[in-house]
Amino acid sequence: MSILKLKPSCKDYLWGGSRLIKEYGKEYEGEVLAETWELSCHPDGPSVIRNGAYAGKTLPEYISGEGRQVLGTHCRRFRDFPILTKFIDARDNLSIQVHPDNRYALKNEGQYGKTEMWYVMDAGKDAFLYYGFQREITKEEFAQRIREDTLLEVLNAVPVQKGDVLFIESGTIHAIGKDILIAEIQQNSNVTYRVYDYGRVGKDGKKRDLHIEKALAVTNRIPIVRKNSSYPHAADCDYFTVDKLNLDGRVMQKLSGKVSEESFASILILDGEGTISDEREELAYHKGDSFFLSAGSGTYTIEGSCDALVTTIREKAAQVRIGIDIGGADTRIGLVDVHQKLIAWKTVRTNAMRPAKEVIQEIGQTALSLLEEQGIAMEQCVGAGIGVPGTVDRKNGVVRYSNNIKWEDVDIAKEMGACLPIPIYIANDADCAALGEAAAGAGRGCEDVILFTLGTGVGGGVILDGSIYEGSGISGSELGHMVIVENGEPCTCGRRGCLEAYVSVPALIREALAAAGKELTPEEIFAAAKEDPVVKEVVDTYIRRLGTGIVNAVNIFRPRLVILGGRISEQGDVLIKPLEEQLRQGCFGGEKSGIPEIRTAVLGSHAGMIGAASLI
């Protein structure tokens, strides 16, 4: 099923009329029908599917059942369904109102703000609407005129007629006037700050609430310059692109379009009748109908006579991603652009003794402040990736267990989503470091990479075909816990003989202490090996055991590149040269099968942030 005919959710606000019932055939038992939410996944009124296997189900239920791929790749940047489409019948004047932008709404309302467009379907002879101010006014004058009931004197009254289009950005004060019928496409938000309501009372006999302080905080008090044309589209912004479709039934009787994998298509029939079809089905349409065409459904054909609005979601310009690298001591939060460049970053103490929810909230608030400091609007941010030490369930966004930060079964995607209402992705921190080096570091341009991090422990990640290799489980690859010595030294994981038990920093220090009788740093150990044969044997054994682990991983995954990161990797060629020889001797098939190159990581502490951002 690729063409869904939708039944709207109906709203009976006090200013509404009856045209949507009488002229557009909307099914509603009341006499006043102000709005119909024709394409909606909003919890205040979702659309219901009329046809096919999902008949009687809501549009959100369809998306959940079929998967988010039905929305298209351009919708990946949205956590929620991006738009809400309405018919509005204004028998009387709507209240004077304003919508906040995303930044303000997220901070104060916990949801996105609202930018919208209006298409005037019909209007009375003297119909007009309010659109911004006649002149620039101060915040003080704005407040005074609200108090003194003189606000209408400075608002810009715009006469309208059928076919007019107005684009209302967040922060624009506005109102639909009486005797106007409108099709509205907007961000999927229901946040409205009412400034003036003509003294009317609601069904409860009380005056409706005003939101003056919030309106004063978000309203643009400079006159709006209305564009005469939005060619080639009726409206176009980061949230929606709207195109007008017209068939007169004579000269133009048939038109075909294509729904690619990039975006779904919403077709809102303003007038006329005919059929809409694809290779699988044909449906009749009439004035007022609404259709949802799933992404990737291919070619469709509309025949008959109609005026319609077709809405899609385009690719976002200047995308920014948030990359978060959570460590036992510190957490790094960075902003990464489309070129894998780290724009800016901050470091905060993880302090894992606090409740996980508190830690996550601080990280989220820090990410928001970083966006604000860089002058980057939330709508530019297409998602956040998080690298977490331990065992993570990437599919469900849950940290199953992390010894480093003492977390168990923490739903980090849900908790972070409360601060950052954008798609949230998670992965193991070592996997993120590997992905970062593959995307922007020593492995740039190489899709098959293995990273070994040689530090307090031995971590690592496997990147195959440009993506993190996870296997069928939730823990991904644990390169540091392959056994290289049967019944060998105890490992931090509780087993014996693991690679980590022999080539981590503590392991190297332990072996040097046992051999030389004194505790040395890794740097001192490698320096002493140049003159002390006892210490040299420690280093040679260390490199040989590391080589055993690398050879094992190479023979299993067959990468083109091996990258060494962490503190010990700073030894460079002292490590790499003998490891290259060990690879030549130990790789199955030798030169004929292709021996991978070994390089040192170059991104340092930035790798985890860039890799986390690359999860998106």
Q: What does the pLDDT average to over 540-550?
A: 96
Q: Are residues 102 and 17 in the same domain?
A: yes
Q: Are residues 19 and 92 in the same domain?
A: yes
Q: Are residues 128 and 10 in the same domain?
A: yes
Q: Are residues 99 and 15 in the same domain?
A: yes
**pLDDT of 101 strictly over 70:** yes
Task: Summarize pLDDT for 519-528 with one digit per residue, the tens.
Answer: 999 999 999 9
Total number of domains constituting the chain: 3
3-state secondary structure of 246: strand
The residue length of the chain stands at: 616
Q: Are residues 455 and 385 in the same domain?
A: no
Using CA atoms, how far apart are residues 278 and 289, in angstroms rounded to an integer?
Answer: 17
What pLDDT sits at residue 554? 94
Examine residue 453 and state whether it is found in any structural domain, yes or no: yes
Please report, rounded to a whole number, the percentage of residues in the chain having pLDDT higher than 90: 71
Using CA atoms, how far apart are residues 545 and 488, in angstroms rounded to an integer?
Answer: 12
Which of 378, 398, 430 is a domain's end point? Answer: 430
Task: Summarize pLDDT for 21-49 with one digit per residue, the tens.
Answer: 999 999 999 889 999 999 999 999 999 99
What pLDDT sits at residue 473? 64
Examine residue 105 and state whether it is found in any structural domain, yes or no: yes
Examine residue 315 and state whether it is found in any structural domain, yes or no: no
Q: Are 612 and 387 in contact (CB under 8 A)?
A: yes
Q: Which of 239, 237, 302 lies closest to 268, judged by CA? A: 302
Examine residue 7 and state whether it is found in any structural domain, yes or no: yes
What pLDDT sits at residue 317? 67
Q: Are residues 27 and 162 in the same domain?
A: yes
The CATH number of residue 506's host domain is: 3.30.420.40
Mean pLDDT score across all residues of the chain: 91
What pLDDT sits at residue 178? 95
3-state secondary structure of 426: strand
Examine residue 273 and state whether it is found in any structural domain, yes or no: no
Using CA atoms, how far apart are residues 244 and 117, in angstroms rounded to an integer?
Answer: 13
Which of 244, 264, 279 is a domain's end point? Answer: 244
Examine residue 206 and state whether it is found in any structural domain, yes or no: yes
Which of 408, 430, 452 is a domain's end point? Answer: 430
Q: Which of 227, 192, 214 lies closest to 142, judged by CA? A: 214
CA atoms within 13 A on the CB side of 391: 9
Q: Are 609 and 324 in contact (CB under 8 A)?
A: yes
3-state secondary structure of 220: coil
Q: Are residues 92 and 229 in the same domain?
A: yes
Q: Write the secondary structure of 304-323 as one string of H (helix), E (strand) and C (coil).
A: EEEEEEEEECCCCCCCEEEE
Q: Are residues 420 and 460 in the same domain?
A: no
Task: Summarize pLDDT for 435-456 with one digit per residue, the tens.
Answer: 999 989 999 888 899 999 898 8
Provide the annotated active-site residues: 194
**pLDDT of 228 strictly over 60:** no
Q: Which of 567, 437, 579, 547 lies closest to 482, judged by CA? A: 547
Asked if the bond preceding 232 is cis, omega within 30° of 0, the reply is yes
Strands 3-7, 381-388: pairing kind: unpaired
Q: Are residues 368 and 465 in the same domain?
A: no
The CATH number of residue 73's host domain is: 2.60.120.10
Q: Are residues 72 and 177 in the same domain?
A: yes
User: For residue 461, what are the domain limits?
Assistant: 442-600
DSSP element (H, E) containing 582: helix 573-586
Q: Are residues 537 and 561 in the same domain?
A: yes
**pLDDT of 382 strictly over 90:** no
What pLDDT sits at residue 542? 96
Q: Are residues 191 and 337 in the same domain?
A: no
DSSP element (H, E) containing 89: strand 83-90
Examine residue 296 and state whether it is found in any structural domain, yes or no: no
Examine residue 155 and state whether it is found in any structural domain, yes or no: yes
Q: Are 357 and 415 in contact (CB under 8 A)?
A: yes
